[in-house]
Structure 1
Amino acid sequence: MSACCSGRQKVQRWLTLISGLVESLFFTGIIYGGPSLVVVLKVDGYFAEHCANVTGKNHTVSTDCSLQDVQFSRVMSAAFFFNHFMRLPIGFFFDHYGTMATRLIGIFLYICGTLLFTLSNTESSVLLYPAMSCLITSGSIFYTTNAQVGNLFDLYRCTVISIYSGAFDSSSAVTFLIKLLHERGVSISSTFLFLSLCSIIHLLRTIFLMPRGQIPYPLPEMYTYGLSCPTERRGRAEEECGRNEETMKEEQTQRESEKKEEDEISPLTFKAKVLHEPMQNEVASFRSCVLSWLFLWHLLWVIITIFCQSIYLSTVNLSLTRLAQNDLNIVSHYTNVYGVIQIFGVVLAPLNSYIMDRHKHKPLAPGETPHEAQLRATSLAFFFTSSQCLLFCVCFSCPILPLQYLTFFLQVINSTCFYGGHQSFVSITFPISHFGKLSGVAISITALVLLLQFQLLNLIQHQLHGDPLYVYVVVTLMSLFTFTHPVHLYLHHKNMTTQRMAEQEVYKQEGTSC
């Protein structure tokens, strides 16, 4: 019976993992493929009223659509702001009401976003603002609820989270497929109507392959989730009841034996036991987690990295158009290449997670705790991500068109490593009961910084005459501050190790004197 249940659980967990990967790959990060989508929307005439005929020096008449590019940049900036601002309330809702209720909100926003795209046209271009905001927020909800699937696979926890992050990033390539379909005569309304009908996939997965609450960590031995028939639930309840009785008996026996041992052990041994075995029920408060130096340095890292990514994604079409000297064929070529590179996000994702999970497959150093080993691995992974961010900023700041191929690659790998690293760090460093709130508060505070994007876009449009070079240079200098977080993690790990060794030395000396 137990072997049968164990096999069924294993199949269910793998189905949850694979279906979550498919969901993340095709539905979560569609709007992050904005460059390809903007090309399609331009062809269809969205915001075309902002284009104007300009007479050149040789009395030649050309069309200037720089204001149209600015409008699309504003749509992207508004969507990013709304998504990041909503992450805190979504995190609180997720922690208090669980996975099913949170995903139902995500499904509702997904349907609203796709239907608004279906109903939009050149005369109602303004519908792009709520459409993109709803779609990008629904994708974040799906990604946040899928990240906990890593708890089902303990040894590969960070790897699963990072693969989902890579799939989330690769899903932006869906807009590349939308662009190819559009070139073959499939309207954007038909495409988004089909995507709207796909919401039934999200609903079925929510009911059958996801928990009503949250997936705990560490995972209980006989943990079950998802919808099941009444007979199975009744049998499960009887098994749970029997297990509870056995557990109570075992705990009572263990308490009696521990009490007996406490009378026999020396004061020194008892002191060491109390200091090094924290209480199981003791959980840090949400306030103490937010005000800890670990979280505050992580917050700075999150803000700067997201700001760099958002500035680039909001202005990439504007920059490519300028570098290509308004040649739409060249811009279309580069957005196609960008779309292909985005597909490889899911392939590149395990690079960062390998660094974070590798210590689990090796024996710990003498006296080293698993938490210390995890911090050491995380500091190295974050240094790797910060280096990517710096190189990415340097590349997109250089006004060299062929260099943008490398920029595309660095953007994809940096985005993948960043989101996977962020979710992994929050889940392994702080209590799982605060996962949604802490993950959300970091992203929501970033939304306040992203308000600067609107001022920067106005600066580029009016003062800098459409040239974002100086803004890019400032962003590159900001990216240097991302290295503060991995350095702090490394120093924190060293302090913990030093403190542990000092305590062990004290115990040895006290033991010798006794």
Structure 2
Amino acid sequence: MACHQNPNLELSLTRRVVIFMIGIIESMLFGGAVFGWPQLVHVLKVEGIYSDLCMDSPSAPNHTRRQPSAADTFNNTRCINLNTTFEISDSKAIGVEKCDPQDERFALIYTVTVCCYSIPGILVGYLLHHAGLRVTRVSGGTMLSMGFLFLGIATKDSPHWLFPAMILLALGGNQTRMSVMQFGDLFPDYRATAITMLSGMYAASAALFLVFQYTAMAGIPRAHVCWALAAISSLSIFLSFIIPVHHIPIHNQQSQNQDVIESPSPLKTSLCSASSFLHQLWFFVHLLAVNNYQQSYNVWITSSSCSVAEAGLYSMLFSYSNILTVFFGPIGGVFTDYMIRKAYNTPNELDRRVKEVQASFWPLLVTSVFNTVMYGCLLFFHPAAIYVSLLCMLVARPCIIAVSTAYLRIRFPAGHFNRLLGIYGTVGSVLLFLQYPHFMWAQHMYYAAHALILAVLAVSYLNPIHLLFTPLIRHAVVIRDNLKPEDLHPVRNTYADKEVNGL
């Protein structure tokens, strides 16, 4: 049974703005901090975590400086032509040296982390639906705090704390992100913009781990930084008490001006639709691509660099790029809201609803293109490819979640939103276990492994393309809204409505 909010609950503008800003800050700091893994891996390698795995590895270095070979640099002729002397860090297991056992262990941790991020999504969706916002937020804030505490405990001598730390950060971050998504209903007239802003902000949280690199340079122990982050994340628990207990009141301005009363269809109808299957494919494939990119990033930049300093620069640029994603995530929502408001002037009610659904076409298509180019850059071991991939990531990474979330809110009934968000996240994350065997495959057949992902990305373009088939979308809207024959061709006198409203 769904939790029920007081139907007469009204939130003042001040309270709505405060709640929205809380959501922005929480999403920007903790919503997807685990996706800053490439930056964290660089720090962990400098500290020598899991460097013991390299001691018995054939690729383990036995001296601090040596001349590069084509095998070590994946035929990186740029470095060979420059006759660069490769430097090895104090841990004797990082830098531009390639240590397969260490890379594979970090890849395994990241795979488990990413899968734990959204596998419980279906449970979180039902938790939001039945228990409400406060319970979900308190649970998420608690796990975030514990995750940072465990991350602070992890050292070279006890690296096993990394597993529970990253899992808790993933679980807590996802609960925080999904709770924040409800705040889009605070501003119904700009719902798509609000949702994409909130969901896009989570991409910036991947830059959180950059603080570890700067504090290490300042001589501040990583453990002390983790204690501070644990304290900051615990504030989510206390801030939950100024937010409605159950959910944000939903006020659909458009429904107040239309003659047709929408009756949500069953959840099974939404799940079994063609749009649902195509979007699940699109969401999974693009999520797999961006996670494979992030998982391979550290190995890629290491193989493309001619010195430890150069690899460190690319690692920092990754975090800086994630900070800048906050400016690109909302773009898709702004455009979608513009198209929805433009569609509202359509006299035919059914045509208006069809155009609202089709408003997501360009955001989905543009996101697909940028993500494909970003992933394709992995095939080139050159600084130019790294810079291009980071530029594409500015758009692709925040928009995958942001545009997908806005599309779900538009395409399917509002009452299905929380559960669909959780179901898609869970299904996608279960399938993301494939990224670890893919990483292992890429270690031996690099180009074939990544070419396969590019091919599947091409298939995923069916999702935005199917929105162009108006008869198909018209039929989907009829089923979604349970429209009767007499409701299929209502004509609204929009000019008369404006005169009544004094416009």
Establish whether TM, by shorter chain, passes 0.5.
yes
| 1:117–1:127 contact (8 Å) kept in structure 2 | yes
* Alpha-carbon displacement from aligned partner over 1:177-232 (angstroms, at most 9, x marks no partner): 22111211111111111011113420222111x221122433599xxxxxxxxxxx
Aligned partners of 2:10 and 2:249 also within 8 Å: no
Distance in 2 (alpha carbons) for counterparts of 1:411 and 1:507: 43
Q: Does 1:67 align with 2:101?
A: yes
AA partner of residue 353 (structure 2): H
- 1:370–1:144 Cα change, 3 Å: farther
Q: 1:414 aligns with which of 359, 379, 396?
A: 396
Q: Which amino acid aligns with 1:352?
A: G
Q: For residues 307-322 of structure 1, what are the structure 2 equivalents within 5 Å?
A: 307-322=288-303
Match of 1:357 in 2: 337
Match of 1:304 among 262, 268, 285: 285
Structure 1 residues 355-364 or 330-339, which shifts more? 355-364
Alignment match, 1:47: 50
Q: 1:305 to 1:493 in 2, by over 3 A?
A: farther
- Structure-2 residue corresponding to 1:333: 313
Does the CA contact (< 8 Å) of 2:353 and 2:477 recur in 1? no
Counterpart residue type for residue 461 of structure 2: F
Question: 2: distance between equivalents of 1:499 and 1:148?
Answer: 23
Shift of 1:476: 1.2
1:345 and 2:348 are equivalent in the alignment: no
Which residue does 1:430 correspond to in 2? 412
State the SS of the aligned residue for 2:299. Answer: helix
Unaligned segments of structure 1, at least 5 residues: 222-275, 509-514
Going from structure 1 to structure 2, the CA distance change for 1:397 and 1:507 (only over 3 Å counts) comes to closer
CA contact (8 A) 1:74 1:314 kept: no
Deviations 1:36-87 (A, max 9, x none): 1111111112111112334789999985533212211211111001112111
Q: Which residue of 2 aligns with 1:101?
A: 135
Alignment pair present for 1:218 and 2:251:
yes
User: Superposition RMSD on alpha carbons, in Å?
Assistant: 3.0
User: Is 1:31 the equivalent of 2:65?
Assistant: no
* CA spacing shift, 1:204–1:498, aligned 2, 3 Å: closer
Distance in 2 of aligned mates of 1:124 and 1:137? 22
Structure 1 segment 360-509 matched on structure 2, within 5 A: 360-362=340-342, 364-367=345-348, 369-461=351-443, 463-464=444-445, 468-492=446-470, 496=474
Change in 2 beyond 3 A, CA 1:30/1:493: farther
Q: Shift in Å at residue 314 of structure 1?
A: 1.2
User: Which segment drifts farther, 57-66 or 5-14?
Assistant: 57-66
CA distance in 1 between partners of 2:418 and 2:347 (Å): 35
TM-fit CA distance, 1:499: 11
Change (3 A) 1:164 1:290: same
SS of the aligned residue for 1:123 comes to coil
Which residue of structure 1 aligns with residue 205 of structure 2?
171
Give 1:146 shift. 0.9
Secondary structure (helix, strand or coil) at the match of 1:217 reads coil
Q: Percent identity?
A: 20
Equivalent residue number for residue 496 of structure 2: none
- Rounded to whole Å, the distance in 2 between the matches of 1:186 and 1:349 is 33
Check whether the contact 1:66–1:318 (CA below 8 A) recurs between aligned residues: no
> CA–CA distance in 2 between the matches of 1:123 and 1:493?
63
Identify the structure with the greater helix proportion: 1
The 5 Å alignment of 1:127-276 reads 127-208=161-242, 210-218=243-251
Q: In 1, Cα distance between the equivalents of 2:431 and 2:489? A: 49
Q: Secondary structure at the match of 1:343?
A: helix
TM score, norm. by length of structure 2: 0.81
Q: 1:364 to 1:460 in 2, by over 3 A?
A: same
Q: In 2, distance between residues paired with 1:158 and 1:496? A: 21
Determine the C-alpha separation between the residues in 2 that align with 1:12 and 1:162.
20
- Which structure has the greater CA radius of gyration? 1
Give 1:101 deviation, angstroms. Answer: 1.0
> Residues 349, 51 of structure 1: CA spacing in aligned structure 2 closer, same or farther, 3 A cutoff?
same
Cα 1:507–1:334, aligned 2, differ >3 Å: closer, same or farther?
closer
**Structure 1 counterpart SS, 2:360:** helix
Alignment-derived partner of residue 145 in structure 2: 111
Q: Deviations over 1:208-261 (max 9, x none)?
A: 1x221122433599xxxxxxxxxxxxxxxxxxxxxxxxxxxxxxxxxxxxxxxx
How many residue pairs are counted as aligned between the two chains?
441
